[in-house]
Structure 1
Amino acid sequence: MKFFFVLSLLVSTVLCSYLSGLERSFAEADFKMIDLYFTIPTTEVDKLLQIVQIAENQVANGQAKNLQDFIYKEASLAIKMNGQETLFENVTFKTGGMYARSNDKVGYNIKLNEKFLGRKQIRIRPDPNDMAYMRSKISCDIANRIGLPSIQSAYARLYINNEYWGLYTVMDTIKTSWVKQTFKPAAEEVTNLIQCKYDGMTLKPGSESLCMNANEDYPDMTSFNEFVRQVSSATTIEELEKIMDVDVFLKFMAMEWLIGSFDHFLVLGHNFYFYKRESDNKWVIIEYDYDNTFGNGVSFPVYWTGKRTGASSQNNNQNNQGWNNWGGNQNNVINYSFAEWELDIPIIKTLVLDNPDRFKGIVREVLISAFNPTILGDHIDQIKQFLLPYVKEDTTPGKDGRLPGRVNKRGNPHNSSVSEFERNIEGNSNGTEGVKSWIKGKFEVACKQYNFDQSEILSESLKYTPKSFNYSSGSSNNNNNQWNTNNNNTNSNNSEGNNNNNQWNNNNNNNNNQWDNNNNNNNNQWNNNNNQWNNNNNQWNNNNNNNQWDNNNNNNNNQWNNNNNQWNNNNNQWNNNNNQNNLWNDASDCWSDVLGYSCCNGCSVVYTDKDGKWGVEHGQWCGIKQSICQANSASGQCYGATTGKYPCCQGCIVVTTDKNGRWGVENNAWCSISYSC
């Protein structure tokens, strides 16, 4: 205790700022509020208010990319900061975001004719699901401090025609102009900046179709397509080192895991760019959009159910209990090892699971340089103190009874408060892990998994001098904590892929982290006798069953039945009316079979040709089943119904919300909240 007290004291007195010493054009806005005063004709504002009326069902199933944007290119803007005012004319003001457009508070993109904070293009985002108001900010700051090519963040208040529209997070925008300012290529045009904003980009063959050239004047994708082909054929790190910046990639992967981001490469496969650096012709990954982090959006581990992962360690946080030990509040995802978090992506196997020592060293570097409760705790406290009066303002209703800037009346409402703001920072609130509690819990998980000494990490952290990413050479120019640091005594037996405690099903191994090993008495499994669904009509049954969902002898009304992979044909089944086969797998309805492609499980259309509509799943092309998708589209009752995986809820009680919509629990099973609620 004495050590940690002295450590905290040192941080408060020695560490002036978490971001000090870094080359950041946003530095002048640190702990300062930016006030954006737009002047826009009333007729245009009326048009804006009409266009932003977006309901949740309008962004489901990939429809977000078809939404109409509001754009006005002749706005006047006065930016006030730190007692100074700067005027801009002919400013472009445009709606921004994709899935977030179904929220009541909308994000916007701003294009200036002169630089502000070193940038001509910035984004302001409300992050309405983040009641801590700082997940995007903290994530950007971590990426900056690690020494990654990354965006920056600050805060702004938006005013339109002198009317207050609320508090926003400001970030710079990754565009070709951003590349010109940072990487400084000699070429006049940037033609190899590729944006991957649609779900499913894994660098597997076919997934390149989910990305696009960020330069609309040069839409050619030949170079990037060849890169994906090379990645797919590579079997060693050495081969990948020749075509991509592996260190930057691994740092981003370590960061994704530590901050709990499911909204980037490892899980959903979007919200990142690849840029082919001119100096060495290597591809560099650059990530953006960080609101779904630090436990936000993972109230139930829906993204990992197909992988059947279990938590890799004992619960480090008292809040994480319930739901068969997946955690009533955070469902144990905080305890996932890196191998459990990522979704079996081939390049991750090559770079991490087959080469654990290098990744272990990078995790250690990230913990020392940026991600630990000591240095982040102080930084978070400063941001909290700075934001408090502005959060009070943003959560105070106006004369019309609505909160500021909540202009989308058809969107999902997000009512926050100062108390929710504080709870979302310090601890658990309404099933979402607090920012600080996530950092503490994940830090402990990482140290335990890789056998790091926590005191040693924290001590080295105080001596660490951060360096910004060197855009010309491709490094952070920091030799203090390289992955092969002398202090990193890597033991591959404790690393990913070689740890008997972190595998799925070691033969007859009474492993703490496998699903259904016989005689497994660990509390962190689905079917533990003390943590199973009750023995009535709605349990997941495992009576002496080795590694499968259910025993054929289970006759419950809501069990997952091994016969034909369907819910049994009783009161609460998925496939009613004696449907012996899942409709999605009916080969007779799969028109693309004759062309050599299986049919999709979902209804998200990526491409249409003379044969029909096509989607991409698991990195492969698949045919859209019109008989199913048209029926689901016509019904339009809820997102779950359109996937065929979840029923619509009978009621409207929301348990959690993610990018696919709102979710409830009825009869001890997840259901999708109807759009009408």
Structure 2
Amino acid sequence: MLKKLLLLFLTIGQILAASSFIGEGKRAELFEITDNEVPTFRITISDDSFEILRQAMQNHRHVFKKNPNEQKPKNEVEFEKVKNATMIVEINGEKKEFNKVQFDLGGSSARTYGRQAFNIRIKDKKKDLYGRSQFRLRSDPRDATSLRSKLCCDMLNRMGVVSISANYVLLYVNDEYFGFYVLMDAPKLPWVEQVFGEKDTTNLYKCKSGGLYLTEQSCAYGCENENDDVTDRAEWIDFLKAIDNAKTVDDIEKVLDIENYINTAVFDYLVGATDHFFGLGHNYSMYKNPKTGKWIMIYYDFDSDLGQDIIMFDYYNFRPLESKDFLHYTVKEWFRNNNMNVIKIGVFDNLPYFEKTLAKVVKETFNPAVLFPHIDELKEFIRPYVVHDKTPNENGIHPGVLNFVNPTDYNLEHFEANSEFTTINVPDIGSDAYECDPVYMDENYQYPIDKEVESEIDFNRWDGFDWVKFLGFDPSVMEPQPEESKCLAEKIGYPCCKEGNTKVYAHDANGDWGYDFKAKEWCGITPYDGRKDDEVCWSEPLGYPCCKKSCIVYEIDNDGKWGYEDNTWCGIQSYCS
């Protein structure tokens, strides 16, 4: 039966014509030749390691952030990467054998789902697999379609953006079927050598943990160098300082590949990405191209794109927009969480270039006349593999589900519906964002929806979430300001000068300034005159009051300047300027 199944898979794989969506010559040979077939990876490890692997895959905990004080459950087993595994790859009618292979569990949150993830590296420096030697095998258990990672890589490849690539693979470990996976590049040192020709680069950084928005404060040591031998971060920190101190787009462009960056930003905006740089500030790498001297942003982990978990847009957001019509958010609304130079100047001060790039991408890539046929082609190509993995065995478990403590998995109906236009569990961004095709521009066009499996977006998902317990501190609590200020300086957090200290050393919108030489700090001289509140509070139509106690500015956006009082955002009044 197994031989018949494999024969069926190979036959169907050969029927599919090579995709014309990406174009030739843009990817490694491995991904070119696997457009037409799904290869099989056969990993062999010791029996002892295999048993530990089985146990390590049993995990019911969903850990958002590691707590150093948290004790590991007694029954939790850790799997140490196997450095002496072997691998046979059946591909293109041939068998390729590798005797020096590293094999490990991969993924983060995906470890708690039924399907798992794995990392593979060919350690023999004299061998590779059609131009690649390091791979990520991802089951993408949150994606009911198994299409998102592949589609996103294909779109970036088609756009000409520096990017990893993806296709599909079947995995066996010690001759046991482990399932159908997305086969992806790993943006590591071998990848850089294979793509850019630089061996053992010292300038490849992985920015994974979150909140890493290309500032010196967040990224100098928040991003990890992929070369374990590197201890000197001078070039990396110099780059971050240059971004922090930039005043113009030209300043940004001197150190950052702006074309690649803007294309990445356009991609992020169009696919509704919440889990990359512009959203949560992670799942990207930075590489300094020695030929140009400029840094390049490289995305990875795409299973949350194309509308998956769109409500994550409001994750860790203390001032969410009232409108949840994510599809029609402007560029500044979509990127509003970031007030960093690389976004303020690189994108917002560069909108004509952004919009020109956006129009080009919409026309050539993110266009239903171009993209929909590719989606349909991929869906038909992977259907037999998905059908196989979504058909329960005699124990009611889907093939490829390896975590039996939490064997959650989508069913075939979910795959069929969510790969079209039906929202399930988490939302998809509707396709009417596209241009160019009158069929999809018609506001009355009705997309087919499978009501049997459709779900609605939970806009209240983060209501009542205990951020203090999650983060270890309360980011919404600011230092209390005095109810009544004696001088203007107190409005922005400085003390008033003591009696007798009246010499003026400076003057600005907040009055005269003295200096307390004993405390070594500036102090305010001009008394607070009980300035009247604005007759019309500009922030009230947006759902927020105006600030009453302070002129401290915590954020600036297209609407104006924002302060924070009494656990809520407030609009800075005109008398503060």
TM-score, length basis structure 2? 0.68
Quote the Cα distance in structure 2 between the aligned partners of 1:21 and 1:57.
41
- SS for the counterpart of 1:360 is helix
Mapping of residues 434-445 of structure 1, within 5 Å: 434=428, 438=429, 440-443=431-434
Alignment match of 2:203 (pick from 181, 192, 196): 192
Partner of 2:34: 29
Cα offset, 1:583, TM superposition: 11
Partner of 2:410: 416
Partner of 1:544: none
Quote the Cα distance in structure 1 between the aligned partners of 2:476 and 2:351.
39
Partner of 1:87: 97
Partner of 2:165: 152
Mapping of residues 558-577 of structure 1, within 5 Å: none
Q: CA 1:60–1:131 in 2, change beyond 3 Å: closer, same or farther? A: same
Cα offset, 1:439, TM superposition: 6.1
Q: CA 1:363–1:573 in 2, change beyond 3 Å: closer, same or farther? A: closer
- SS for the counterpart of 1:228 is helix
Q: CA 1:56–1:219 in 2, change beyond 3 Å: closer, same or farther? A: farther
Q: Which letter does structure 1 place at the counterpart of 2:22?
A: L
Given that 2:392 and 2:399 are in contact with CA atoms closer than 8 Å, whether structure 1 keeps it comes out as yes
Q: Which letter does structure 2 place at the counterpart of 1:80?
A: E
Q: Does 1:286 align with 2:298?
A: yes
Cα offset, 1:151, TM superposition: 0.5
- SS for the counterpart of 2:33 is helix
Higher Cα radius of gyration: 2
Quote the Cα distance in structure 1 between the aligned partners of 2:346 and 2:478.
38
Partner of 1:174: 187
Q: CA 1:123–1:293 in 2, change beyond 3 Å: closer, same or farther? A: same
Quote the Cα distance in structure 1 between the aligned partners of 2:475 and 2:203.
42
Q: Which letter does structure 1 place at the counterpart of 2:179?
A: G
Cα offset, 1:49, TM superposition: 1.5
- SS for the counterpart of 1:108 is strand
Q: Which letter does structure 1 place at the counterpart of 2:347?
A: V
Cα offset, 1:82, TM superposition: 3.5
More RCO (CA 8 Å, sep 6+): 1
Mapping of residues 268-667 of structure 1, within 5 Å: 268-299=280-311, 301-303=313-315, 305-311=317-323, 326=324, 332-342=325-335, 343-346=337-340, 347-411=342-406, 413-434=407-428, 438=429, 440-443=431-434, 585=477
Given that 1:59 and 1:98 are in contact with CA atoms closer than 8 Å, whether structure 2 keeps it comes out as no
Quote the Cα distance in structure 1 between the aligned partners of 2:466 and 2:130.
57
Quote the Cα distance in structure 2 between the aligned partners of 1:286 and 1:74.
30
Given that 1:392 and 1:417 are in contact with CA atoms closer than 8 Å, whether structure 2 keeps it comes out as no
Q: CA 1:222–1:385 in 2, change beyond 3 Å: closer, same or farther? A: same
Mapping of residues 12-161 of structure 1, within 5 Å: 17-25=20-28, 26-61=31-66, 68-112=78-122, 113=124, 114-161=127-174
Quote the Cα distance in structure 2 between the aligned partners of 1:457 and 1:351.
32
Quote the Cα distance in structure 2 between the aligned partners of 1:105 and 1:375.
32
Q: CA 1:130–1:161 in 2, change beyond 3 Å: closer, same or farther? A: same
Q: Which letter does structure 2 place at the counterpart of 1:46?
A: E
Q: CA 1:421–1:268 in 2, change beyond 3 Å: closer, same or farther? A: same
Q: Deviations over 1:159-194 (max 9, x none)?
A: 122221111000011111111111113xx5310111
Q: CA 1:402–1:244 in 2, change beyond 3 Å: closer, same or farther? A: same
Q: Deviations over 1:229-248 (max 9, x none)?
A: 11011011011111111110
Partner of 1:534: none
The two structures, once aligned, show a CA RMSD in angstroms of 3.2
Q: Which letter does structure 1 place at the counterpart of 2:37?
A: K
Given that 1:424 and 1:432 are in contact with CA atoms closer than 8 Å, whether structure 2 keeps it comes out as no
Given that 2:207 and 2:224 are in contact with CA atoms closer than 8 Å, whether structure 1 keeps it comes out as yes
Quote the Cα distance in structure 2 between the aligned partners of 1:218 and 1:161.
36
Given that 1:310 and 1:336 are in contact with CA atoms closer than 8 Å, whether structure 2 keeps it comes out as no
- SS for the counterpart of 1:229 is helix
Q: Which letter does structure 2 place at the counterpart of 1:24?
A: R
Given that 1:267 and 1:303 are in contact with CA atoms closer than 8 Å, whether structure 2 keeps it comes out as no
Cα offset, 1:106, TM superposition: 1.2
Structure 1 unaligned segments of length 5 or more: list them. 1-13, 312-325, 327-331, 445-452, 459-538, 541-559, 561-566, 576-581, 589-677
Q: Deviations over 1:601-627 (max 9, x none)?
A: xxxxxxxxxxxxxxxxxxxxxxxxxxx
Cα offset, 1:115, TM superposition: 1.1
Quote the Cα distance in structure 2 between the aligned partners of 1:274 and 1:573.
33
Given that 1:373 and 1:443 are in contact with CA atoms closer than 8 Å, whether structure 2 keeps it comes out as yes
Cα offset, 1:212, TM superposition: 1.1
Cα offset, 1:428, TM superposition: 1.6
Quote the Cα distance in structure 1 between the aligned partners of 2:332 and 2:311.
20
Quote the Cα distance in structure 1 between the aligned partners of 2:19 and 2:213.
40
Cα offset, 1:423, TM superposition: 0.6
Q: CA 1:179–1:456 in 2, change beyond 3 Å: closer, same or farther? A: farther
Q: Deviations over 1:415-459 (max 9, x none)?
A: 22222111111112324345xxx3623325xxxxxxxx656999x
Quote the Cα distance in structure 2 between the aligned partners of 1:419 and 1:57.
26
Instruction: Indicate the larger mover: 91-100 or 257-266.
Output: 91-100
Given that 2:169 and 2:181 are in contact with CA atoms closer than 8 Å, whether structure 1 keeps it comes out as yes
- SS for the counterpart of 2:250 is helix
Structure 2 unaligned segments of length 5 or more: list them. 1-16, 442-458, 469-473, 481-577
Quote the Cα distance in structure 2 between the aligned partners of 1:433 and 1:375.
23
Q: Deviations over 1:339-385 (max 9, x none)?
A: 11111332211122223111100111211221111111000111011
Quote the Cα distance in structure 2 between the aligned partners of 1:237 and 1:583.
31
Q: CA 1:198–1:160 in 2, change beyond 3 Å: closer, same or farther? A: same
The percentage of aligned residue pairs carrying the same residue is 30
Quote the Cα distance in structure 2 between the aligned partners of 1:573 and 1:273.
30
Cα offset, 1:197, TM superposition: 0.6
Q: CA 1:45–1:392 in 2, change beyond 3 Å: closer, same or farther? A: same
TM-score, length basis structure 1? 0.59
- SS for the counterpart of 1:273 is strand
Quote the Cα distance in structure 1 between the aligned partners of 2:63 and 2:427.
29
Tell me how many residue pairs correspond in the alignment: 426
Quote the Cα distance in structure 1 between the aligned partners of 2:417 and 2:249.
43
Cα offset, 1:84, TM superposition: 2.2
- SS for the counterpart of 1:54 is coil
Instruction: Indicate the larger mover: 339-348 or 287-296.
Output: 339-348
Quote the Cα distance in structure 1 between the aligned partners of 2:366 and 2:37.
24
Q: Deviations over 1:62-89 (max 9, x none)?
A: 779x994431122222211243222221
Quote the Cα distance in structure 1 between the aligned partners of 2:255 and 2:60.
42
Q: Deviations over 1:512-567 (max 9, x none)?
A: xxxxxxxxxxxxxxxxxxxxxxxxxxx99xxxxxxxxxxxxxxxxxxx9xxxxxx9
Q: CA 1:16–1:174 in 2, change beyond 3 Å: closer, same or farther? A: closer
Quote the Cα distance in structure 1 between the aligned partners of 2:423 and 2:80.
35
Q: CA 1:54–1:221 in 2, change beyond 3 Å: closer, same or farther? A: farther
Quote the Cα distance in structure 1 between the aligned partners of 2:165 and 2:97.
22
- SS for the counterpart of 2:303 is coil
